[in-house]
Amino acid sequence: MNKRETIISYLEYRGIDELPVADRKLVEEAVAAASGAYAPYSHFMVGAAILLDDGTVVRGANVENAAFPSGSCAEKTALSYTVANFQGRKSVTIAIAAKSGGKLTDAPVPPCGNCRQMLIEEEQRLGSPIKVILAGASGIIVLENCQSLMPLSFTRSNLVK
């Protein structure tokens, strides 16, 4: 038997003002995207903003549905739009923010497992890391790649015969 350990390192900022300007602008885009979410059931509005390698920013918001599994997460929405409409462009960074009660959540909100899986797949498809910024009112977490969100993830290498 072998015992192994996975360590995840990340940067933690006390607020948006500590972020580099480009990251701050992307967080502001994610917060703006959250304001456009359709969340009549949970009232939990999530926004995602993806920065592409040419400077384009793609936004997505969660869209709920009365048949709960039929909704779509903000990250999934932004990522799907990016893949469909910006072929040849690489995602460089994704910022994620959530609002509840009309204001930014206190703690940063990480993506759900499904969105983590999609982000890891995109990172592998592109062959380059995608920085992740999780923004909350009381702090911001920055990870250098999506793989850090789910270290023992299921990937295409698991499908190889």
pLDDT of residue 51: 98
Q: Does residue 6 lie in a domain region?
A: no
Any idea what the CATH number is for the domain that residue 145 is in? 3.40.140.10
Contact 64, 36 (CB under 8 A): no
The answer to whether position 4 is within a domain reads no
- Domain, as residue range, for 74: 20-151
Number of domains within the chain: 1
**pLDDT truncated to tens, each residue of the chain (161 aa)?**
999 999 999 999 999 999 999 999 999 999 999 999 999 999 999 999 999 999 999 999 999 999 988 999 999 999 999 999 999 999 999 999 999 999 999 999 999 999 999 999 999 999 999 999 999 999 999 999 999 999 888 888 888 77
Which residues participate in catalysis according to the annotation? 75
CA 28/CA 147 separation, integer angstroms = 24
Q: Of 108, 109, 111, 110, whose CA–CA distance to 139 is shortest? A: 108
In a domain, 2, yes or no: no
Domain presence at residue 13: no
What letters, b where the CB count within 10 A reaches 16 and e where it falls short, cover 69-95? Answer: eebbbbbbbbbeebeeebeebbbbbbb
In a domain, 128, yes or no: yes
Q: Is residue 83 part of a domain?
A: yes
pTM of the predicted model as reported, rounded to 2 decimal places: 0.95
Asked if residue 38 is part of any domain, the answer here is yes
